[in-house]
Amino acid sequence: MTAYLYSPVFLEHEEEGHPESPERLEAIMRVLRETGVLARLTALEPIPATDAQLEAVHTKEHIKRVKDTVARGGGNLDPDTYTNSRSLDAALLAAGAVVRGVDAVMKGEVDNAFALVRPPGHHATHNRAMGFCLFNNVAVGAAHALNSHNLERVLIVDYDVHHGNGTQDIFYRSPIVLYFSTHQYPYYPGTGNWTDIGEGAGQGYTVNVPLSAYVGDEGYRRIFDDLLYPLGERYHPELILVSVGYDAHWRDPLAMENLSLAGYTTLARTLIELAREQCAGRIVFVLEGGYDIPVCANGVANTFRALLGDTEIPDPIGPSKRAEPDVGDYVEQLRGAHRLV
């Protein structure tokens, strides 16, 4: 069984004209219904994250700052990151949805899950909201998996087009979370150099793959096949969490990568196969960015089809016509840097 986690409360966090809008989730749910995918899924009700769950990855001061801002009716926590009077409820449910998904997968209630949440989370650091993100949803889920299910190795894969600086920040000194990120670079938030590999006990457990513009299906496939997959085999995760943003698609208005929906499907299938081989299929996807509405909606539907095991998955938008750079030498360089050769 494949589960989805969603709440209409997520739609109440909004600011007119902002690209991270309720329309994203409205379109996702509409496409899931119209294509018949939703009827094949198991619904899990999100439960708000507790203060203890948030404090496993965030400072009390950060949590209080978010709560106090919302209690005043809302306001900006940074130039890109807004709140309104309903933002705290949405953010607690977003983090709690990942916790609920982790619990369901770890207990065998479902085979895998996708948390359809907003606000997104991967830019939120331990002490700061930024980049549209209030709390770091995937980090809260990872900490919960480690603390409540006695896990020792969680792999977080982040293929949003922006670097998940918050997730890196939270686990940078930890060997019990392997963080792997592909992202356009240099680009917002300006972090994620390939030389950033972790510190102290966490050295070697952060793997950044900064990319030039216009890397597309073949380049991403090589990165996942030749770098991520062997890293996953070596790490042998007990659970895989995925921060997925559909803003690396060639049509996204906020970035300049070159993936197609077919390319996104290939990446999802690679992660699902890695989870099957390494951790009995235990994988939870978490929605991050994606700002071309039809791309995001169809991308989510196709990820669900991959989780369900469909062999034929459509790409209604089609491929980019732009040539992509060859990343072969770069992948070999990164393989050497991470001792895979």
Residue 227 falls in which region: left (phi positive, over 0), alpha (psi -120 to 50) or beta: alpha
What would the DSSP string read from start to end of 211-279?
E-TT-BHHHHHHHIIIIIHHHHHHH--SEEEEEE-GGGBTT-TT---BB-HHHHHHHHHHHHHHHHHHH
Integer angstrom CA distances of residue 106 from 150, 232, 239, 287: 11, 19, 8, 19
57: three-class secondary structure by DSSP? coil
Question: Which pair of structure tokens corresponds to residue 10?
Answer: 């997520």
The phi, psi pair for 284, rounded to 5°, reads -130, 120
Rounded to whole angstroms, the Cα distance separating 45 from 109 reads: 13
* 329: Cβ contacts below 8 Å, ≥ 6 apart: none
Structure tokens at 111: 């085979």
Alpha carbon distance 133, 119 (integer Å): 6
Asked about 123 being catalytic, the answer comes back as yes
CA gap 168, 95 in Å, rounded: 17
Q: Please give the helix or strand (H or E) that residue 5 lies within, else none.
A: strand 2-5
Cβ burial of 220 (10 Å; 0-12, 13-18, 19+) is buried
Burial class (CB in 10 A: 0-12, 13-18, 19+), 139: buried
Q: Which of 13, 58, 62, 123 is catalytic?
A: 123
Whether 169 contacts 58, CB under 8 Å: no
> If you count them, how many residues does the chain have?
341
Catalytic residue set: 123
